[in-house]
A and B are shown apart, each in its own frame.
Chain A
Amino acid sequence: DAKTTQPPSMDCAEGRAANLPCNHSTISGNEYVYWYRQIHSQGPQYIIHGLKNNETNEMASLIITEDRKSSTLILPHATLRDTAVYYCIVRVARSGSARQLTFGSGTQLTVLP
């Protein structure tokens, strides 16, 4: 699975959009970008994933660059409850294969009142 690079920490004002970058310059054509978050010592929570097209769900949007070497997770209106460590994970999705996730250090997002 490709290695990812994320800033260790970011702040965001409550109500503003939080844009969390992730660099995955060695990503392969069959690797997906996944985002999870972990709110203080709770179990990680799936947010969103994508291959090459931008994706949006009720939690966030995922913007993947055309060359797929980087992506940005966007929380459109951050709240205090969005304070968490956000993990960007790149991996191959093969049906029937081992599916373990490799977590890096992530980005500690702090939403400020």
Chain B
Amino acid sequence: DSGVTQTPKHLITATGQRVTLRCSPRSGDLSVYWYQQSLDQGLQFLIQYYNGEERAKGNILERFSAQQFPDLHSELNLSSLELGDSALYFCASSPEGGRNTEAFFGQGTRLTVV
């Protein structure tokens, strides 16, 4: 158990819909990262938040957005969903301050768009 909690574990929704994925980082970790893993793209970095502020953006679509709340949990919002958005979405967290701290990943949310 990495200490990172993601909900829900599975989500099935229709094209055009909007969903919210939730991540609770490890206690004390200030950074939260979101990754997408689809069959043809592998693990892709989407976005990072640190202590409530956006820190870095990767290959995140404009239809997707995220935020980190004062209690440090994070949500990834996916809107106008398309079939190609079906994927595993992982959240990771890490502490801040050290140079070499590793990232701890949750078990992911499997999103299926039908």
A residues within 8 Å of B by Cβ?
Answer: 32, 34, 38, 41-46, 49, 87, 93-96, 98-105
Contacts and interface: CB of A to CB of B under 8 A. Distances in A.
A45 B105 contact: yes
Contacts of B68: none
Contacts of A87: 43
Contacts of B104: 46
B107 A43 contact: yes
Contacts of B56: 98, 100
A43 B97 contact: no
Given A34-B102, A95-B97, A42 B55 contact: no
Contact of B102 (A43, A46, A102, A105): A46
B108 A43 contact: yes
A34 to B, nearest CB: 7
A98 B106 CA distance: 19
B32 to A, nearest CB: 11
Given A43-B4, A95-B97, A98-B56, 18 more contacts: A32-B100, A38-B43, A41-B108, A44-B43, A44-B90, A45-B105, A46-B102, A49-B100, A93-B100, A95-B98, A95-B99, A99-B31, A100-B45, A100-B48, A100-B56, A103-B42, A103-B43, A104-B42
Contact of B2 (A38, A43, A100, A105): A43
A43 B92 contact: yes
Interface string B90-114: 1010101111111111111010000
Contacts of A44: 43, 90, 92, 103, 105
A104 B43 CA distance: 8
Contact of B33 (A41, A100, A104, A105): A100
B58 A42 contact: no
